[in-house]
Structure 1
Amino acid sequence: LDRLIRLIDVDNQSLRAQVAAYRQARALVQEARAQLFPTVLGAPSISRASTGGIERTTVTLQGSATWEPDLFGRVRRLIESDVAAAQASAADIASVRLALQTQLATAYYQLRYQESLQSLLERTAQAYQRSLAIAQNQYAAGVAARSDVITAQTQLQTTQANAIAVGLQRANLEHAIATLIGRPPSEVSLPRGSLPARPPTVPVSLPSDLLERRPDIALAERTVQSQSAQIGVAVAAFYPTVTLSASGGIAGDPARTFFSAANTFWSVAASGSQVLFDGGARTATLQAVEAAYDAAVANYRQTVLTAFQQVENGLAGQRILARQQGAQELAVRSSHQAVEIALNEYRAGTQNYTTVVTAQALELNNEVTALQVRLNRFANAVSLIGAIGGGWDTGSLPSGEALKQFTPLPIDRGQAPRVDE
């Protein structure tokens, strides 16, 4: 299972798509940050002309710079918004990865359950084969009816058919696991195993730690921060913009005195602009951004509440399913004794075969139920691990400085381990 989970980082296409979305968000931070700096242009040119039979070459080396100072914080708030959005995207990667890991673990334990169920049905078929032999011997001795033999045969054949049908469920689960690790189903063949007796112990964090360990909470929180910064961007649109520009250069004949003061030129300028009327567009934009912020806050609160609910559900499941498993195991032991007694009484001729069939059916039902309870405990453990974040914490998120420096995440560098099948 650990090997399969590591393969998710290598080839799962949903996770790769999420990483690409993070790279896009990271690039937007760089794009916004670039607005803090001036735009510098170079415009060299060369021309040759003839006047009155005199040919002359003119070379012009010209440059210009334009800068819009961030007087009212529009660019700074835009950077803040994009940084939070990129961090939200990084948290989304962790959230998607955790969901995929949970799906894979659930499918893996379901596959092991199907294998254990198939083994149980095969063992039961062997027991029914022995019961059939007893019925045949009793019929041959003239102390049992032909219907006992037919009933025993039917019971055996039904169980054998059910054991075969389980193989289809196992194959489908194996194919689902192959898809989760990004492999064609035909290339994945997992060795047979069985469902362990007890699920792993799940260390549960304090409620205060949960806010730092859930990637979906981190995603919702960074979305709130991003929307808050967008309000600042919308407010800045109500203020004027100032643009500073400068240009200069030199133009002349390189064959003569090119680098002389007479050939130089320059200019500087400053301009400002203010929207006087826009039909309420800026106000509408601000209202829309504020509404988006309110929605993000509500989503954050709901995400936190859902997280606590999922943890409490998992804890309750741990307690209740453990008790149920203990009670069901007692029922299995009692049903074993009932079958043994029924068979002995049937051999002695003091009981009919219907009692044997009823006891065996109850035994199989109890064993299948016990196996299902074990699967439920594993599924609950997987859900609880996912509910507490699966070992992730907010320290894994890239900092604002790292985003401005274009530092990739480990998975973005292709550092995910490859594990041979």
Structure 2
Amino acid sequence: MNKPTSKLRSALVPLVLAMLLAGCATSAVVDSASLPATPAAFKENAGAVAASSVVSEAQGLWWTVFADPVLDQLVEQASRNNNSVQVAAGRLAQARALAGQTDANRFPQIGIGAGATRQKNSTTNNVAQTVVSAGANLSYEVDLFGKLSGASNAASLDAASREALLRSAQLLVQADVAQTYLGLRAIDAERSLVRDTLQAYRNTLRLTEVRFKEGDVAELDVARVRSEVASTESEALALDQRRAVLEHALAVLVGQAASSFQVAPAEWATALPVIPAGVPSTVLTRRPDISAAQNTMQAAQARIGVAKAAWFPTFSLTANGGYAAPEIRDLFKLSTQAWGVGALLSLPIFDGGRREAGVQGANADLSIALANYREQVLVAFRDVEDQLSALRLLAEQAEAQSRSVASSSRATLLSDSRYRNGFVSQLELLDAQRSELRNRRQALQVKAAQYLATVGLIRALGGGWA
């Protein structure tokens, strides 16, 4: 065996051994037992027929199921102008740029350069000399142990996580716009009811004052009606203040100044969609926040492999070539050519525990990401169960409140008849009217809660239910 061959084999021994150990640099495997258990169906849907075959018209543009053109316009404006969405879009662009930078390390790096130096040394007999040069260089790190590909994969998963967070921000803003707008329309309906009642009280007050002047009623009756008018005026003004706050909040959501934004009062004609029973729990897999947490966990897994790969040698190939001459006119002559190729194997021996700390840090990051993923899944199930139970109980409450409104309306009618015939005092009539107004307002509030819970459920399901 000749000496050059023997030397070559001796030089390759560390590299071969490192390649045999490369399996140690693979990403960590997450134990499935550490992941949260996911039931096949929601508790609130127990016994319902599975709705996995139902095609949801809400998929994507889910807010259109409310059939409200004003809501459609507001959501569209928020999608374009909302600052939270724009921040999330900017962070996605940052993540994609970082992924591109990381992935670029896997490819050859080529550069060109030119320069001129003025030098004086013993080789030139202490005579100053100008050297002009021009050339190109190439470097390429061979990814033997997956360090570069692992880093690139982790960065791509980070970008995917940011993309999911952008979708999550969009869904959150869309739901906030819908809930704020529906709350505003509920206030409009309540304001209309209170102002109609206020007008009726004012008419009653005028009639009572006339009767008092004619001596038909006592001053006490006038004072009672005046008190009722003032109290109802106060309630109407409180509703005006609540509407203004909601309108200002809506302005921020759609990216406009509150001073120049206005939603005109209108009749509450928004449709209330019915989400079918038996929605399978698998729809939660499309929730963007869960997708983001999952991608973050997978990125942390990949970075463990990158951290372990730091224990193994790096192997790089280099090449350079160009020209160097004392005069520019001689620069590209054949005699001024120069080139070189090389290979570099680098194996760190002692680093004071830096690589071990890197592996420990990567493992800690994975533990955090795994815990965040578990928490996100549990929160998702809680959100859905909260809204499902809210809708079920609100439906029962709406039915009970409807009976209450009907009864109080009948009581007001009877009290008015008895008062006109002199069988009861005005106090009994006012009590009946006050009770009817309270029950009608509560009915509107229950209706508003049903709308808000419906939006909350659609958001909890990830923007649809099929």
Q: Give the TM-score of the pair, scaled to structure 2.
A: 0.78
Most deviating of 223-232 and 303-312 = 303-312
Summarize deviations over 1:211-263 as a string: whole Å, max 9, x none: 1x201111111111111111111011111112221222233456569542x33
Q: 1:256 to 1:244 in 2, by over 3 A?
A: closer
Q: Indicate the larger mover: 98-107 or 314-323.
A: 314-323
CA 1:287/1:124 → structure 2, altered by over 3 Å: closer, same or farther? same
Q: What is the number of equivalent residue pairs in this alignment?
A: 390
Q: 2: CA distance between counterparts of 1:352 and 1:373?
A: 33
1:119 equivalent in alignment to 2:189:
no
Of residues 382, 389, 393, the one that matches 1:320 is 393
User: How many angstroms apart in 2 are the aligned matches of 1:72 and 1:43?
Assistant: 32
1:2 partner amino acid:
D
Q: Does 1:30 align with 2:103?
A: no
Deviation of the 1:209 alpha carbon = 2.4
Q: 1:12 aligns with which of 77, 82, 92?
A: 82
Higher mean C-alpha deviation, range 173-182 or range 283-292: 283-292
Give the equivalent residue in structure 2 for 1:186.
Answer: 259
1:157 to 211, 214, 230: 230
Partner of 1:191: helix, strand, or coil? coil
**What SS is found at the alignment partner of 1:41?**
strand
Report the secondary structure of 1:189's partner residue. coil
8 Å CA contact 1:105, 1:382 repeated in 2:
yes
Deviations 1:47-66 (A, max 9, x none): 799x99xx998653322222
User: Are 1:219 and 2:292 matched, yes or no?
Assistant: yes
Note if 1:39 corresponds to 2:113: no
Mean Cα deviation higher: 320-329 or 202-211: 202-211
Matched AA of 2:242: Q
Amino acid at match of 1:305: L
Q: Residue 361 of structure 2 aligns with which residue?
A: 288
Tell me, in whole angstroms, the C-alpha distance in 1 between the residues paired with 2:372 and 2:229: 56
Residue 210 of structure 1, aligned match among 284, 288, 298: 284
Specify the alignment match of 2:148 in structure 1. Answer: 75
In 1, Cα distance between equivalents of 2:234 and 2:307 = 68
**CA shift at 1:203, angstroms?**
5.2
1:349 is aligned to 422
How far apart in 2 are the matches of 1:60 and 1:297?
55
Amino acid at match of 2:220: S
Residues of 1 paired with 2:118 and 2:175: CA distance? Answer: 72
% identity of equivalent residues? 35
Shift in alpha-carbon separation, 1:258–1:207, aligned structure 2, 3 A: closer
| Aligned partners of 2:133 and 2:331 also within 8 Å | no
1:63–1:362 Cα change, 3 Å: same
From the superposition, tell whether residues 258 and 313 of structure 1 become closer, same or farther in structure 2 (CA, over 3 Å). Answer: closer
Give the alignment of 1:249-268 within 5 angstroms.
Answer: 249-252=322-325, 255=329, 258-260=332-334, 262-268=335-341
1:372 & 1:388 partners in 2: Cα distance?
24
Q: What does residue 436 of structure 2 align with?
A: 363
Separation of aligned partners in 1, 2:406 and 2:339? 98
More off after superposition, 38-47 vs 60-69:
38-47
Gaps of 5+ in 2: 1-70
Structural RMSD (CA): 2.6
Partners of 1:138 and 1:347 within 8 A in 2? no
Tell me, in whole angstroms, the C-alpha distance in 1 between the residues paired with 2:179 and 2:287: 19
| Matching of residue 104 in structure 1 with residue 174 in structure 2 | no
Secondary structure (helix, strand or coil) at the match of 2:350 reads coil
Indicate the SS of the match to 1:350. coil
Amino acid of the residue matched to residue 81 of structure 2?
D
Hey, what does 1:407 align to over in structure 2?
A: none
Q: For residues 47 and 371 of structure 1, what CA distance do their matches in structure 2 show?
A: 85
Contact 2:323–2:331 (CA under 8 A) maintained in structure 1: no
Once the two structures are TM-superposed, the CA of residue 40 in structure 1 deviates from its matched residue by: 1.9
**Which residue of 2 is the match for residue 418 of structure 1?**
none
SS in 1 for 2:139: strand
Give me the TM-score of the superposition, normalised by structure 1.
Answer: 0.86
Q: Which amino acid aligns with 1:248?
A: G
Shift of 1:137: 5.5
Q: Which stretch shifts more, 145-154 or 202-211? A: 202-211
Task: Indicate conservation of the 8 Å contact 2:324/2:331, yes or no.
Answer: no
Report if the CA contact (8 A) 2:330-2:336 is conserved.
no
Deviation at 1:379, TM superposition (A): 0.8
- 3-state SS, counterpart of residue 72 of structure 1: coil
Q: Which amino acid aligns with 1:194?
A: E
Give the counterpart letter for 2:340 in structure 1.
Answer: S
Once the two structures are overlaid, the 10-residue window that deviates more, 60-69 or 20-29, is 60-69
Does 218-227 or 295-304 show the bigger shift?
A: 295-304
Worse-superposed segment, 301-310 or 20-29: 301-310
User: Distance between the aligned counterparts of 1:308 and 1:165, measured in 2?
Assistant: 37
